[in-house]
Amino acid sequence: MPSSDVYLLEEEHHVRFAENLAVAAAAFVFFWAVFGASWVVSSKRVPAFAAFTPAQKADWCSRINSTIHAVAVIAGVAVALANIEWGDDFMPMSSIRIASFVFSFAIGYFTCDLIVVLVWPVPMQWVFIIHHIVAVVPYAINNFISCCGAAQFGLLLFLLVELATLPLNVRGFIESMGQEDTRGYKRAIYMTYIVWAVSRTVLPIFLLYSFWRFTFPSERNHDVCFYPNMIGAHIIAFFCIGVFFFVHTPEMLQLRKDDKSKKKALLPTTQQPENAPQVPPSSSRDVKKLQQLASGSYDEVNANGDIENPPSSARAFS
């Protein structure tokens, strides 16, 4: 609980409940509208869409939603970081209203996508359900119940994990079209690995350090918002880091191994050793002559060692 002599922003005294709820509701309606429109348009414009199962169609439309959300929140985080005045300890010193707007937008998206996962189950459904709940709870508490000023920097930067959503969705679209053998698919795998390494491995590690170095000791915290932030940050961070090392890295190593095997298969099956004696051209011609004589053929060998066929009358004796 912050003491009375600690500098607090207006949002830390009382949250803008009605405003934040309106933004979240608008985002929820927006993403449901995009989901429905994507279903209709894809049915008419994407030939392969008709053959998808309902769950695959929902996944396709959900990826369109998540792509829009990723681009929007990345831009929103950049604007918020640039416009909010930050102290040396990453504490906000000016209004965090724009951050609350970004958080409400994300709340609307995660709520919409959670319903999609519940209605159209996907493989490992429970993982997505837990992920969405853990992701949305800290932001919902921050915007609707109690705002932790010390956690604003971390809450904003954690949304940058959505950077990895972009190449991940490109890969998902290609897989849905059955084009895993294309060069573009391989590029999407490499790009996913690189972006995930930065946004969902290095960044979460930095944010955990920032949490324990600056957020935890700060008096600008309230138990109601602080502990959900702490638990959620660690779950999301460990999940992202674990997926990088135990899912994406083994996949990348296997891909590199397969590439080497393919390159090796393209090499000539028989190669002359480097230390093998060189046969002079004249000896080569003699060998070819002997081979032709042994086979009963009277083909001639020219000066270059190539076989020349004599007129058909000369071959009548063979």
- Asked if 49 and 109 sit in the same domain, the reply is yes
Q: Is residue 271 part of a domain?
A: no
Q: Is residue 222 part of a domain?
A: yes
Structure tokens at 212: 């324990």
CA distance 24 to 26: 5
Query: What residue ranges in the chain does DSSP mark as E strands?
Result: 300-301, 307-308
| Sequence-ordered list of residues with C-beta below 8 angstroms from that of 109, at least 6 positions apart, any chain | 27, 28, 31, 65, 66, 69
Query: What residue ranges in 8-139 does DSSP mark as E strands?
Result: none
Residue reference for tokens 């390494």: 197
CA distance 165 to 63: 9
- Asked if 191 and 66 sit in the same domain, the reply is yes
Instruction: Give residue 223's pLDDT.
Output: 83
Q: Is the dihedral of CA 118, 123, 125, 131 positive or negative?
A: negative
Q: Is residue 298 part of a domain?
A: yes
Number of domains in the chain: 2
Instruction: Give residue 312's pLDDT.
Output: 44
Average pLDDT in the chain: 87
Q: Is residue 220 part of a domain?
A: yes
CA distance 283 to 270: 22
- Asked if 102 and 246 sit in the same domain, the reply is yes
Q: Is residue 233 part of a domain?
A: yes
Instruction: Give residue 271's pLDDT.
Output: 54
Q: Is residue 161 part of a domain?
A: yes
Residue 178 three-state SS? coil
Q: Within 13 Å and on the Cβ side, how many CA atoms surround 281?
A: 6
CA distance 207 to 244: 17
Question: Which domain does 301 fall in, by range?
Answer: 277-305
Q: For the segment 156-214, what is each residue's pLDDT rounded down to a tens digit? A: 999 999 999 999 999 999 999 999 999 999 999 999 999 999 999 999 999 999 999 98
- Asked if 147 and 291 sit in the same domain, the reply is no
Q: Is residue 283 part of a domain?
A: yes
CA distance 32 to 38: 10
Q: Is residue 197 part of a domain?
A: yes
CA distance 308 to 302: 7
Q: For the segment 61-78, what is each residue's pLDDT rounded down to a tens digit? A: 999 999 999 999 999 999
- Asked if 259 and 144 sit in the same domain, the reply is yes
- Asked if 225 and 82 sit in the same domain, the reply is yes
Q: How many CB atoms lie within 10 A of CB 108?
A: 23
CA distance 107 to 17: 13
- Asked if 175 and 286 sit in the same domain, the reply is no
- Asked if 137 and 284 sit in the same domain, the reply is no
Return the closest-CA partner of residue 173 out of 194, 158, 188: 188
Instruction: Give residue 257's pLDDT.
Output: 92
Beta bridge partners of 307: 301
**Stretch 17-37: mean pLDDT, rounded?**
98
The answer on pLDDT for 307 being more than 80 is: no
CA distance 186 to 215: 40
CA distance 237 to 117: 22
Percentage of the chain lying above the pLDDT 70 cut: 82
- Asked if 68 and 142 sit in the same domain, the reply is yes
- Asked if 47 and 186 sit in the same domain, the reply is yes
